[in-house]
Amino acid sequence: MSEHWLKEWGQGKPPSKWVIDIIDDTLSRLERMSKEDETAIAKLNNEITEKFLKKVKPTSVKNYYTYLHKAVRIHFKGKLTPKNSIKHPTKGISEHFACTLIDTPNDIKALNLGLQREALDWKQHNVATIEEPDLIVNRGRELLESAIASYEKEGYASYADIGAALALLVGLRPGEILRDAVLEPSSPYTVILSQGQAKTRGKKRAYEMPTLIEADTVLKGYNILRNTFKADKLNDLELETYKNKLRLQVEVNFREIVPTLSRINGETTVNPQRLRAVYDAIAVFYYCPPQVKDFVYIKAINGHEPTPGKADAAMHYLDYQIGNGAIVLAGGQRQGIKLAQPGVKVIKAIADKLEKTDHQSNLISQTSPVKDEHDLKTITNSPALMRFLRDESQPTTPEAAPSDITPEVLGLSLEWVTRLEAVMKQTGQTDFKAMVCELVKQEVKFREGLRNRHEGKDFGSMPLSKLKRTRHPEASAEKLRRAFLAIKYHNSNVAVERSQRWYINPTSIHKLVGGRFSTITPWCEAHFDEINSHNQTYELTEGDNRKSVDISEMVEVPEMPMD
């Protein structure tokens, strides 16, 4: 029986073996029932619910009834009779009675509705703050570039590493990354998703999306993944194992730097779904024009159908916001900080709307000049622009001497000079020296606070979990030292053959304790002799790290120091 309805399952993830067994048994019993058997139908519904609840949480039960209803429609296609069919209450079509009378119980529906409302309320009143967006982006860049370098040098790259990087840098889902998405070049910092978007309800749309680093690097990693990881023949169930590996790499690489959402369902770690929301927040910060609402931009870069007046479709992606520290470093700019950079452009979906808006604004400005600040507020929601216009309207002092600190004196490149000029113009800052002094003061205060906060601490005796949360160079060095000692101890005292040993390099250390490669690599270089001596003792190379398991599954860094 199962072979027939599964053969016609079509698109979508097929059910697991235990679900198939429940469905087969249910279909067999439905063959002998009619819509008049109310007692038997109620009993069957209760039994099915109990079977589902033994395997899944109440919040997931409705998904398994969806599987059942699809199987019923397939199985009874062409077999409907007046005795086993009823008219669907909303669709107005005849279908098997089980699709309506056997369903998620009302008490579970009420429970789920309550949880959904709690979650929505949480979303509306809580956000997680990203204080160092560039740190997160650089982690994705390092992960992707490391995989690309490995492929170019040895013809091998970890699909999970590339996938974890793309989950952040272009905001794709695991299934889209590994199998479905087709990416095409568009501009230096955007790509086109021409097909393969999940959750489209059968609609096929191509749309432009920004990349958080150079698009050619993203596409290079994507193409390596497609050339080395052949997943086009895998169904959803077969693909799940590979998705899990990708999810693990997301957790390993981003858990220390991406804030965890303290949700009502007890979420404890970062995952690809969270990285999609992080991608959206950073994309707004980098590329969204200041006059465009964040949720409008987010819907556009996620390929959502335009729905005037509705922001709820993007609610999930507003879980994160950029912290004040990053905004201060951007000169007070909250959106579009990179729009002045060479090669950066506004995605077409937004640019087209802005062109229409600008045309209307020009007509307004020609007929209704701004009279005061109140009028100004009606045509812009940018406080920085208002401050800029107000300050510029004040008389200047002819005797003012030119600043002795200029971008050129600081040795900044032409690109940085251009970016600085754009930021100063957008934020109303006219004195370069004053802006530099303010930023230097903020940085000094931050570093003084960091030093004073950890002054006198013994990092050598600090628990590992606390080291990971401590932002101090000595804490980072101690964390890396312990990872090195843990691998060394494993290779020497636990492993009994070469296949169980691990080559010590920045990547293996990073996978154990996290951290920035910009910190790990110099540490490894400073301890080159000791690391190289150990690797040579066991004749280890990078190829020894190509195992079916992650190093974190075999090597454990103790909570307390080993020496």
Per DSSP, the residues of 362-420 read: HHHHHHS---SHHHHHHH---HHHHHHHHHHTSPP-TTPPPPS--TTTTT--HHHHHHH
SS3 (DSSP) at 505 = coil
SS3 (DSSP) at 543 = helix
Give the Cα separation of 291 and 380 in Å (integer).
7
SS3 (DSSP) at 189 = coil
Domain boundaries, the chain: 2-111, 130-329, 382-387+412-450, 460-554
Give the Cα separation of 523 and 509 in Å (integer).
11
* Contact indicator for 23, 2 with CB cutoff of 8 Å: yes
Q: Domain 130-329 belongs to what architecture?
A: Orthogonal Bundle (1.10)
Give the Cα separation of 67 and 63 in Å (integer).
7
SS3 (DSSP) at 285 = helix
Give the Cα separation of 437 and 343 in Å (integer).
30
Q: In this predicted structure, what is the pLDDT of residue 405? A: 65
Q: In this predicted structure, what is the pLDDT of residue 384? A: 41
* Contact indicator for 276, 264 with CB cutoff of 8 Å: no
Phi-psi region of 463 (alpha: psi -120 to 50; beta: other; left: phi over 0): beta
Tokens 């009619």 -> residue: 34
Give the Cα separation of 271 and 249 in Å (integer).
9
Give the Cα separation of 262 and 260 in Å (integer).
6
- Which tokens in the block code for residue 182? 């087709």
Q: In this predicted structure, what is the pLDDT of residue 319? A: 80
Q: What are phi and psi of 248, to 5 degrees?
A: -60, -40
Residue-by-residue pLDDT tens, the chain, 563 positions: 545 788 888 766 778 889 999 999 999 999 999 999 999 999 999 999 999 999 988 888 998 999 999 999 999 988 999 999 998 777 778 899 999 999 999 999 888 887 777 766 666 666 788 989 999 999 999 999 999 999 998 888 999 999 999 999 999 999 999 998 999 999 999 999 988 777 655 566 789 999 999 999 999 999 999 999 988 888 777 888 899 999 999 999 998 898 877 665 566 788 898 899 999 999 999 999 998 988 889 989 988 765 554 444 455 567 888 988 888 888 888 999 999 898 999 999 898 888 766 555 555 455 444 444 444 334 334 444 343 333 333 333 334 344 466 666 666 677 777 777 777 776 677 777 777 777 777 767 656 655 555 565 788 888 888 888 787 888 889 999 999 999 999 999 999 899 899 999 998 998 899 888 878 988 999 999 999 999 999 999 888 888 878 898 899 999 888 66
Q: What is the CA radius of gyration of the chain?
A: 29
Tokens 């101690």 -> residue: 478
